[in-house]
Structure 1
């Protein structure tokens, strides 16, 4: 029975990464709650039934008191026994049965599946966000918001049904029950309800504001802590453990201030509520005695009324905490909405087709792009790369080399102009098909916290074991992999590499990355300082395999070490986002221009990346 209800809500729907609404809070919550509304409705029906029966128990309690005080013991069971049996069945069978049925909807169908469905859908949405979205946020902050917002949506919806509906039905029943004995007895309850609503109206919105600030402060605190853990090597390398502790302490202090504000409001709320409940008990007790003295109510009615006061006393405190939690969750949802409803900076056009690469020609056509609003990096930039051609991009840091690769991968959209692959505008095709057609090895190699096997197969998950081993062999990675092990005792290809590959050296990570791209075998190959983390011996061993990998592919390579680009078909020299020279290595050296100056000025095979081409040229002339 349990598993049947657990399977009723699909926690992982395959309905695509849908855009969450950026409008009101209710539209955002309904967007993720609409598929589970039948189960929420079922929970509501059982909540109403349970609350009605619980109020009826107090009416029955009053009847029992009247029976015991006024009926004959000898005929009591004969006259009232069937009522006792009926109420016994209600208490022992019906009420537990309804609570169990409500639990099937609440705990089995909704409690786990509801927030997991939210996490799954939002996670899929976030994975399609642009690269810039993740560059502007702490990864830990985004993950924290995802986890806590999922729970907040569940709690906000389910608590609204459970608490507000229960309270509405319960208090309506209370008023009806006591008024049936004497309408004057209902007055203290009505006055209490009005004052209680006024208290909620005053305190709860203020708690919600604090909760929203608290959710953001919590995410900031978690983001700073995770950032330090993720970069622990850098922290230790620069001996900044104390600095990082202080950095985290500042965010912890900010979070603690929101907790203090919250606790002050809760303390005042609790005090006012306790005083109100004491006033209700006093008023109902005094009025009941007065009415009894005037023979207006029975002893049973007084017992039921006082029993309801004690029940309300405990329930009102429960309601206070639940409603406070409700508005705290609302604050968390609003904070999450600010992140999750951001539009995608780079999105596929509706119905965009897949890219079809047959030859691999690339054309940058009058491209203009800037990272910041204060200046353009590329202005009316054009470049043709013929199918199968291998070009090298040369220039100082900031000249625009990596930007061209990022635009080709469509990590950013161009402001004007277009980029074509085999005549197809990349902004008109799907991003996935574009990136499936491109293999890239970067300077900052990042591996997933998984096994060596999983990281290499990331290039082509369906590859066979033979193809996997061949790629590792070609990348000169087989030898060191055989010696790897992790804390769980896994060895070789099954050993895990740690977060971002921290357990491997830079050169080992680079070889795994090269093997991954070799296995992918895409028709277009991008190399951004692909061998920068390797020593000369390892680079020489891999270079031949890289040349073999380049065969039949269109290649764009970046390297500050110009010797690694000397064999390219054409070199394109960039400065400040424009082409200043192009040709073969031999032609450019013989021409005696900027490239020749850069070549002569290299020390150890590296360009002085801190100087632009004009400064280097002036210094060269001065030296001559």
Structure 2
């Protein structure tokens, strides 16, 4: 039975999500698509349970009146069938309804509903631009995804579970009390008006504090994760105390928001207790007065007092459920601000895949400023012939890595276009574009998975033989075989730690190069591909790299000029413009910027 209900709702929808709305209720509804049928069914059963429970109070009043006047000798004969029916409802009906509601809530909704939200949010965020992740903490993003899913689930389910139950129960109770004496409902209505006024005053403030607290929590988590992620930097600079202060600042801010919320909680408790005391006194006063006048029965008084005592407990439950509703709305609203951000780099509708047959690359008068008014790259053009090996040279900040970023379409150009075999990369799918370009970056980051899985990232469904072959070509096989982790896994099964922290820089880069060998893309981009290798290891893999380049178009960025000096053409850029180009020998003869950089790297500093 549990398995049946668990499979009623797909936790991982097949359709690719779009951008969620940027208004709160539309945002919640967006993530409730495909779930609302089960929410309505839950609400229906909850409403039936509330009606039955109110009816039982009415039955209690009738029993009191029956017992006050009935003859013991004939009571069972007169009321026996009614008692049997009520017994069946209590012993069979309510438990069965409770079982249905519980299985819908716990098996169908509680697990699958937030997982759908996380899955859809994760899919959308994976397609966010590279710039989006440059502006956010990874830990903060993950926290927002997790808490937003729970916030939406709790907010929607409380609305359709708790509020339905409360509404049906209260209205049914008022009708029941009115059936005994209409005057007794007056204290209930006054209490309701005051109750709503208190909640209307305090809950919106709770909602605002909840938003602030959710943001403070994610900021605190982001700062802590940032310290852990960069633990080597923290230790190298002996900044443990500085990181403590950095984290404590956000912890103090979060604690301040917690204090504000707890103060509001105290005010809510005191206010509701005061209203409940007034309600009990008022209902008792009116009920007894009505009985003295002969307008109300003993059963009516029992029902009224019973409902007051029930409402005394329910009012606190309702208050905290509504407080939870506003708190979860605050978390959902906080997450909405991040999850509904527009994707700045998107595919056009029905974008075709990139087809690379020759590997010609043409930067056609491109301009890109990272959103600034000027600088970086202005009106830049560079034509790379199919199979040509081009090296980019220039001082730091000249725009070399930016050219790689726009070629991979991590950012969209402000003007101009980039063509690959005559196809504008802005008009093909991003996935197909990046699948045709092999990249080894200057700062190699590995996934916290096994060595084998990291290498296999270069090609889907790669075999173990493919992985080992690629590692050998990158001169990584020997050190891989010596690796082991704390769980006893060895060789290609060993885990590398977060971002590859358990490996040296050179080892990480050789793993990255192995991925490139395995990917075997027709266009290669090398961004300081051997910068973390010592001279001996670099020389060992240089020949394999040159073999891999045969028949491919290569764009290589390097500060170590010896690694690119043998390429077909060297292009020297400065401030986003080409100032020199040609072979190594020709550029040395020109005695320009390249010649100056070469002289410094080959002994000029000694002079």
TM-score by length of 1: 0.96
Counterpart of 1:6?
A: 6
Mapped contact 2:375–2:575 kept (Cα < 8 A) = no
Counterpart of 2:510?
A: 511
Render the CA deviation track for 1:313-365: whole Å, top value 9, x for unaligned.
00000000000010011111111111011111110001110000000000001
Q: For 1:333 and 1:355, locate their aligned partners in 2 and report how far apart those are by CA, in whole Å.
A: 38
Q: For 1:598 and 1:102, locate their aligned partners in 2 and report how far apart those are by CA, in whole Å.
A: 74
Counterpart of 1:331?
A: 330
Q: For 1:370 and 1:555, locate their aligned partners in 2 and report how far apart those are by CA, in whole Å.
A: 25
**TM-superposed deviation, 1:17:** 3.0
Q: For 1:604 and 1:33, locate their aligned partners in 2 and report how far apart those are by CA, in whole Å.
A: 66
SS at the partner of 2:73?
Answer: helix
**TM-superposed deviation, 1:534:** 0.7
Q: For 1:120 and 1:424, locate their aligned partners in 2 and report how far apart those are by CA, in whole Å.
A: 33
Mapped contact 2:11–2:116 kept (Cα < 8 A) = yes
Name the CA shift for 1:604/1:341 in 2 (closer, same or farther; >3 Å).
farther
Q: For 2:60 and 2:31, locate their aligned partners in 1 and report how far apart those are by CA, in whole Å.
A: 43
Residues 546-585 of structure 1 correspond to what in structure 2 (within 5 A)? 546-585=545-584
Counterpart of 1:615?
A: none
**TM-superposed deviation, 1:594:** 2.1
Q: For 2:309 and 2:466, locate their aligned partners in 1 and report how far apart those are by CA, in whole Å.
A: 74
Counterpart of 1:456?
A: 455
**TM-superposed deviation, 1:291:** 1.3
Q: For 1:219 and 1:534, locate their aligned partners in 2 and report how far apart those are by CA, in whole Å.
A: 38
Q: For 1:74 and 1:46, locate their aligned partners in 2 and report how far apart those are by CA, in whole Å.
A: 39
> Which 5+ residue runs of structure 2 have no aligned equivalent?
none
Render the CA deviation track for 1:258-313: whole Å, top value 9, x for unaligned.
11111111111111110000000011111111111122111111111111100000
Are residues 1:233 and 2:232 paired? yes
Mapped contact 1:149–1:333 kept (Cα < 8 A) = yes
Q: For 1:355 and 1:34, locate their aligned partners in 2 and report how far apart those are by CA, in whole Å.
A: 34
Alignment size in residue pairs = 607
Mapped contact 2:367–2:413 kept (Cα < 8 A) = yes
Give RMSD over aligned pairs: 1.3
Mapped contact 1:438–1:525 kept (Cα < 8 A) = yes
Mapped contact 2:202–2:268 kept (Cα < 8 A) = yes
Q: For 2:357 and 2:11, locate their aligned partners in 1 and report how far apart those are by CA, in whole Å.
A: 40
Counterpart of 1:342?
A: 341
Name the CA shift for 1:123/1:91 in 2 (closer, same or farther; >3 Å).
same
Q: For 1:598 and 1:445, locate their aligned partners in 2 and report how far apart those are by CA, in whole Å.
A: 25
Q: For 2:594 and 2:351, locate their aligned partners in 1 and report how far apart those are by CA, in whole Å.
A: 41
Mapped contact 1:395–1:575 kept (Cα < 8 A) = yes
Render the CA deviation track for 1:424-449: whole Å, top value 9, x for unaligned.
10000000000000001011000000
Counterpart of 1:218?
A: 217
More displaced, 286-295 or 502-511? 286-295
Mapped contact 2:524–2:553 kept (Cα < 8 A) = yes
Residues 218-297 of structure 1 correspond to what in structure 2 (within 5 A)? 218-297=217-296
Q: For 2:603 and 2:290, locate their aligned partners in 1 and report how far apart those are by CA, in whole Å.
A: 103
Residues 61-210 of structure 1 correspond to what in structure 2 (within 5 A)? 61-210=60-209
Name the CA shift for 1:419/1:226 in 2 (closer, same or farther; >3 Å).
same
SS at the partner of 1:20?
Answer: coil
Q: For 2:204 and 2:263, locate their aligned partners in 1 and report how far apart those are by CA, in whole Å.
A: 14
Render the CA deviation track for 1:153-186: whole Å, top value 9, x for unaligned.
0000000011111111111011111111111111
**TM-superposed deviation, 1:603:** 5.4
Q: For 2:388 and 2:422, locate their aligned partners in 1 and report how far apart those are by CA, in whole Å.
A: 16
TM-score by length of 2: 0.99
**TM-superposed deviation, 1:372:** 3.9
Name the CA shift for 1:269/1:603 in 2 (closer, same or farther; >3 Å).
farther
Are residues 1:52 and 2:51 paired? yes
Q: For 1:321 and 1:240, locate their aligned partners in 2 and report how far apart those are by CA, in whole Å.
A: 43
Mapped contact 2:19–2:341 kept (Cα < 8 A) = no
Name the CA shift for 1:451/1:547 in 2 (closer, same or farther; >3 Å).
same
Mapped contact 1:354–1:434 kept (Cα < 8 A) = yes
Mapped contact 1:368–1:376 kept (Cα < 8 A) = no
Q: For 2:371 and 2:116, locate their aligned partners in 1 and report how far apart those are by CA, in whole Å.
A: 37
Q: For 2:466 and 2:2, locate their aligned partners in 1 and report how far apart those are by CA, in whole Å.
A: 45
Q: For 2:466 and 2:167, locate their aligned partners in 1 and report how far apart those are by CA, in whole Å.
A: 66
SS at the partner of 1:392?
Answer: strand
Render the CA deviation track for 1:87-129: whole Å, top value 9, x for unaligned.
1111111011111111121111111000000000110000000
Render the CA deviation track for 1:530-560: whole Å, top value 9, x for unaligned.
1111111111111111111111110011111
> Which 5+ residue runs of structure 1 have no aligned equivalent?
609-619
SS at the partner of 2:33?
Answer: helix
